[in-house]
Chains A and B, each alone.
Chain A
């Protein structure tokens, strides 16, 4: 047995090295991307003009010193925050509705102590929807959703939720798959029905880890809100795109600052709540 594992691992290892080499060869050789060219005179000049613009050098109106722009940015920040909370809220709801049948040990009956053939069908359907959901990047979802909804934070939240429920669902299904079945079996021996086993045995054990994953995804969603904003889904991202189009560099800096603050707060909350959840 050991020999087989060894071979697969070494095969993978070499495959990766090959992949990495091929990628770099492609980039440098085929696409002729010259690293040094990045630092050519024109590029450096252009880049420095850009960065100077960001810091407000040589600009007439400096947005981040302007009171009105700050209050405008503040409104957008709150909107973005709401978008992220809505998105994680929707994801969580869908996750809770679908996660239990999506666990392998529910489908094959070991957790619920009952075997029904249709469980595998439901399991497969839900798992496929999870794969669809997480494989399609948020941006693609956003672009599709924008066709359907009016611009604002709702389409952004929906797009983010559509992408994240698959990720959250998979992570949480794995938590259910890893639960110790012995207390469950014991509850069944004490006479608990299926729903009661769920309430008394499964949920108390998995909820802490669920909460931890939910917070983790919320933090990621927070970072991605700016991206869905690009395609018109409101919040800081949409404003960002506008400023980009009008070359209002200092506005960009202002928005970036607000964005960074949001992300840092989300990170902080996510870290601290870990202790709460324990």
Chain B
């Protein structure tokens, strides 16, 4: 086992009641890689990400994070140091001010009283403001989060990730509800930050152009199985066409 491997997926399967979501999936991820997960809807991308985020458990197979099985990261706080997640629907607490949502990235390290106190007088404010500056929202700290636009909210989610500093960033369709200009913005920011902080990114995208533009490796899933796993520049158009092709009616 190379020390460079931050993530190892071994033969994982996941079934839902009548559907096979993932079957015998295996691949290895090195630290610092920028991976895009692509494939048609229902291919199992979200299931895979939820498995990696420990929201779901695999029916068989194992996931190894930084040399240890993922089950050892059952403690939420320990897991949050390794794995962070950003989603399509930002999932921020709309009622809170932006700064509290950003500071929530530090909750893994804060105790009860510090967390409570911070709601009245924000703690570690400077770090949070720096994070907000990095994502281009320097003067939005005290705005109510739900008042921000979609693109701005996703940037707040990125700022929270900056506070959390996980080693692996999982992104589940992070730009699906944004217009093309914002989407480019976010993906650019995400990949740049990941490179600067030496973080590994696994992002599921439904746009192949974005995948090729910002990521170094493409893993394609179709019907729960690995369709191909190649560096971004080696993926051919023909492969992509086959990937997204609808099943022919017999």
Q: Which residues of A contact B (CB under 8 A)?
A: 113, 182-183, 185-193, 195-196, 199-201, 204-205, 207-208
Contacts and interface: CB of A to CB of B under 8 A. Distances in A.
Given A189-B53, A196-B107, A199-B115, A205 B95 contact: yes
A185 B100 CA distance: 16
Nearest to A204: B95
Interface stretch (B31-39, B79-87, B130-138, B237-245): B79-87
A105 to B, nearest CB: 16
The secondary structure that dominates the B interface is mixed
B75 to A, nearest CB: 9
Contacts, number: 75
Interface in B103-121: 104-105, 107-110, 112, 115-116, 119
Contacts of A185: 55, 91
Given A185-B55, A189-B53, A191-B76, A205 B94 contact: yes
Given A185-B55, A188-B76, A193-B77, A204 B105 contact: no
B96 interface: yes
B57 interface: no
7 contacts: A183-B93, A185-B91, A188-B76, A190-B80, A195-B112, A196-B112, A200-B100
- CB-CB nearest 4 A-B residue pairs: A191-B80, A191-B108, A186-B91, A204-B95
A80 B96 CA distance: 37
B89 interface: yes
Contacts of A189: 53, 55, 80, 83-85
Nearest to A208: B95
B107 A190 contact: yes
A189 B104 CA distance: 10
Contacts of A187: 93, 104, 107
A196 B84 CA distance: 17
A205 B146 CA distance: 11
Given A190-B104, A200-B104, A204-B95, 20 more contacts: A182-B89, A183-B94, A185-B91, A186-B92, A187-B107, A188-B76, A189-B53, A189-B83, A190-B80, A190-B105, A191-B76, A191-B77, A191-B109, A195-B112, A195-B115, A199-B115, A200-B93, A200-B96, A201-B93, A205-B95
B95 A192 contact: no
A16 B84 CA distance: 55
A202 to B, nearest CB: 9
A186 B85 contact: yes
B113 to A, nearest CB: 10
Contacts of A200: 93, 96, 100, 104, 107, 115, 119
B144 to A, nearest CB: 10
A208 B96 CA distance: 12
B85 A193 contact: no
A199 B116 contact: yes
B47 interface: no
